[in-house]
Amino acid sequence: MRIILLGPPGAGKGTQAQFISQEYDIPQISTGDMLRAAIKEGSELGKKAKDIMNAGGLVSDDLIINLVKERIAKPDCANGCIFDGFPRTIPQAQALADADVAIDHVVEISVPDDEIVNRLSGRRQHPGSGRVYHVQHNPPKVEGIDDVTGEALIQREDDQEATIRDRLSTYHEQTSALVGFYQEKAKEGADAPNYDKFDGTQDIEEVKQQILSALKG
């Protein structure tokens, strides 16, 4: 099963991807997490991505498409994967279609802009796994510590209020067009992906139940 998670920054894509990954035993492919790992390693890709990410812009389509193509060729993607934060532009979606990567479900998680700033300022992340927490909505068992590894949680550099607002503008300008793109694709016939939209302002658990039941349907 191949799934695309679509939604603005902070909608809960990473949070829900982890649940789907466990349920279906397929990997979460988060281009954001891959880019943050590249920055940490100090690779060429990381050097190119760092300033763009901290300014809330998008890394170039060519770099991202290559990164994803290499990732989905790995054996753990044989039974499918969850795309979290990819595609993010029409050319990225077109590259996926041109490479004949069939998508079964597109899951849109919708959250209004006002709520995003509050959400992202309370986010904490385990850098090794990408596991996400929220100081109020989904706190770790011990403050500042990852439940699974016992390692320290961090705040993402792009979770500053001004950068969050830039990321939201980028979403509306460049990514939200994918909603129409995939809604149209969903009408194309038997092999077309299913398209479902979820209200991401509900509890994490409620969103999870609704998504998992739509994927089974």
Name the minimum Å distance from CB 217 to Zn ion.
Answer: 25
CB-CB contact of 195 with 183 (8 Å): yes
Q: Which of 32/193 has CB closer to ligand AP5? A: 32
Residue 101 marked as a ligand binder: no
Q: Is 13 a catalytic residue?
A: yes
| Contact set for ligand AP5, span 156-185 (CB under 6 A) | 167
Residue 86 marked as a ligand binder: yes
* Among ligand AP5, Zn ion, none, partner that 12 touches (CB below 5 to 8 angstroms by kind): ligand AP5
* Among Zn ion, ligand AP5, none, partner that 7 touches (CB below 5 to 8 angstroms by kind): ligand AP5
Q: Which of 160/192 has CB closer to Zn ion? A: 160
Question: Under the criterion CB under 5 A, does residue 14 sit at the interface with Zn ion?
Answer: yes
Angle at 71 between CA 211 and CA 182, to 5 degrees: 40
Question: Under the criterion CB under 6 A, does residue 88 sit at the interface with ligand AP5?
Answer: yes
Q: For binding to ligand AP5 (CB under 6 A), which residues are involved?
A: 7, 9-15, 31-32, 35, 52-53, 56-59, 64, 85-86, 88, 92, 119-120, 122-123, 132-134, 137-138, 167, 200, 202-204, 207
Residue ranges in contact with Zn ion by CB under 5 A = 14
